[in-house]
Amino acid sequence: MNHISTGEHSLGLLKNGKCVAWGINHYSVCDVPKVEKRFIEVSAGGLHSLGLLEDGICLAWGLNDCNQIDVPRVEQRFIAISAGGWHSLGLLENGSCVAWGYDDYSVCDVPKVAKRFIAISAGLSHSLGLLEDGTCVAWGQNTRGLVETGQIDVPIVEQRLIAISAGG
């Protein structure tokens, strides 16, 4: 990817459901769409932004050179979102995860799992999914030993995970 910068903007969610944005406004990443409904979640990606509305609709804005703001049509409501470097993730109310955008390193190839996802996190070029049993699956780029055979090796821990976060 030949972008001039990434990660130079931030989003905030106000108590009244409005989204505010600040930072370098490359590709209009800080131009929050005007909506009638309340935002319940926001996520800043490399050069794109996501907002989840109270009715389960995911809005996306900013650079779209890799389809990272082309939110797929789904039959379920979104209950969580996460913007990565050049891809995006959405968690649906049925516990499945959808991914869209730049699919380098198979970052949009969500692994087939037998359990429901309860949380998601998109990194720069990898993604994480927390399953209902407290285990984590990961997929995407395999630099520095992060991924083995298309999926990231997640350390085995003795307790259930309760939160996840993918970095850059």
Query: 40 in a domain, yes or no?
Result: yes
Look at residue 2 in the predicted model and tell me its pLDDT: 39
The alpha carbon of 106 is separated from its chain's Cα centroid by a whole number of angstroms, namely: 15
Look at residue 141 in the predicted model and tell me its pLDDT: 83
The parent domain of residue 136 ranges over 9-152
> Cα-flanking dihedrals φ and ψ of residue 153, to 5°?
-75, 115
Query: 57 in a domain, yes or no?
Result: yes
What confidence tens digit (pLDDT) does each residue in 152-161 have? 566 667 688 8
What sign does the dihedral 86-80-43-113 (CA atoms) show?
negative
CB 119 within 8 A of CB 110: no
What's the CATH code of the domain at 16? 2.130.10.30
Residue with tokens 């990817």: 1
C-alpha to C-alpha distances, 90 to 36, 58, 105, 116, 159, nearest whole angstrom: 22, 8, 18, 13, 26
Residues 6+ apart with CB under 8 A from 75: none
Looking at the 3D structure of the chain, how many domains does it have? 1
What confidence tens digit (pLDDT) does each residue in 102-149 have? 998 888 999 999 999 999 999 998 999 999 999 999 998 866 554 444
Query: 124 in a domain, yes or no?
Result: yes
Query: 4 in a domain, yes or no?
Result: no
Q: Does the pLDDT value for residue 166 go beyond 50?
A: yes
Strand boundaries in the chain, DSSP class E: 9-13, 19-23, 39-44, 48-53, 58-62, 78-83, 87-92, 97-101, 117-122, 126-131, 136-140, 147-148, 151-152
Whole-angstrom distance, CA of residue 34 vs CA of residue 31: 9
- Mean pLDDT for the stretch of residues 63-73: 95
What confidence tens digit (pLDDT) does each residue in 29-66 have? 999 999 999 999 999 999 999 999 999 999 999 999 99
